[in-house]
Amino acid sequence: MPRYRLQVAYDGTAFHGWQRQIREDGSELRTVQSALQRAVFKAVREETPVTGASRTDAGVHAVGQVAAFTASRSIDVERMSMALTSRLPEDVQVTHADVVADDFDPIKDARSKCYRYDIACGRPPATWPPLFDRHVVFRTPFELEAALMARAATRLLGEHDFAGLAQKHHGRDNTVRTIHACTVDRIASDRIRIEVVGSGFLYNMVRIIAGTLLEAGRGRIDEARIDEILATRDRRLAGQTLPPQGLCLRWIHYGDSVLPPGFPGRHPAHRSNEPRLRDSPS
């Protein structure tokens, strides 16, 4: 039976996250997985589980989520994206589809992931809060120094125990992860962008990293605090967990290599709202 891989983009504002959730009364919360599951059923006319690579939280967005399902018959992948998107609500799109090996697992086979966190900063009247993109950026009234944030971010690189940068109830036995890149850029006078590339992430880890770097940008902590957090695994030393709306899953890389071809240079997935899905984003 053929197995299909999908690249999925969504505005997470009105969703209770990616993962399907059932209430005690048997009704379902509105989740991306449930919406996609229904669309696949309507398109292929059979019940087949749809598995996602990353369990994004309520309010978190994605342009590079990866999902997979197996069908009993062959389906034209050239038309699949359109067929599924036409059956999805307007805040979800399937941007690409392809055929993969029968044993493809979107979770276990992922080699690295990239998340982005956008922050709007500054005080009125010089800088007004976001209006039209308020659901995709976090707003802080403080001025932030991107250079301080970038220096702190370099301390996260490499393999570490990230228990101090995750929620206490993260549900993982192993809290060791590898961060391949963590960059901070001022993309406009009032906008800061954080991008984190890693082997995987713990619950709320990127949002806590962003909150900690924000404190560095305010001058409230120095870069040595990062080393202390990693060494002690003490969550109390880190910054707040920033809200979900500033977070977006950019891409997930698959293939023989740990990172996409051309990394650590800027990857095309960083320049497009709809990166194509192959063995790596391109």
Q: Which two tokens stand for residue 18?
A: 């990616």
247-253 and 61-70 beta bridge pairing: parallel
Identity at 123, one-letter amino acid code: R
Picking from 148, 140, 158, the residue whose alpha carbon sits closest to that of residue 225 is 148
Identity at 93, one-letter amino acid code: Q
Q: Which two tokens stand for residue 227?
A: 């080393």
Cα–Cα distance, 206 to 249 (Å, whole number): 10
11, 57, 222, 256: the active-site residue:
57
Picking from 182, 205, 178, the residue whose alpha carbon sits closest to that of residue 54 is 205
Identity at 21, one-letter amino acid code: Q
Alpha helices in the chain (DSSP H): 32-44, 77-85, 146-154, 205-217, 224-232
Cα–Cα distance, 252 to 151 (Å, whole number): 25
57 is catalytic: yes
Cα–Cα distance, 56 to 135 (Å, whole number): 16
CB–CB of 66/277 below 8 Å? yes
Strand locations in 20-106 (E): 51-52, 61-70, 92-100
Question: Which of the 8 DSSP states describes residue 48?
Answer: -
Cα–Cα distance, 190 to 136 (Å, whole number): 15
What backbone phi and psi angles, to 5 degrees, belong to 97? -145, 145
* Token pair 């500054």: residue: 122
Question: Which of the 8 DSSP states describes residue 163?
Answer: G
Catalytic residue numbers read: 57
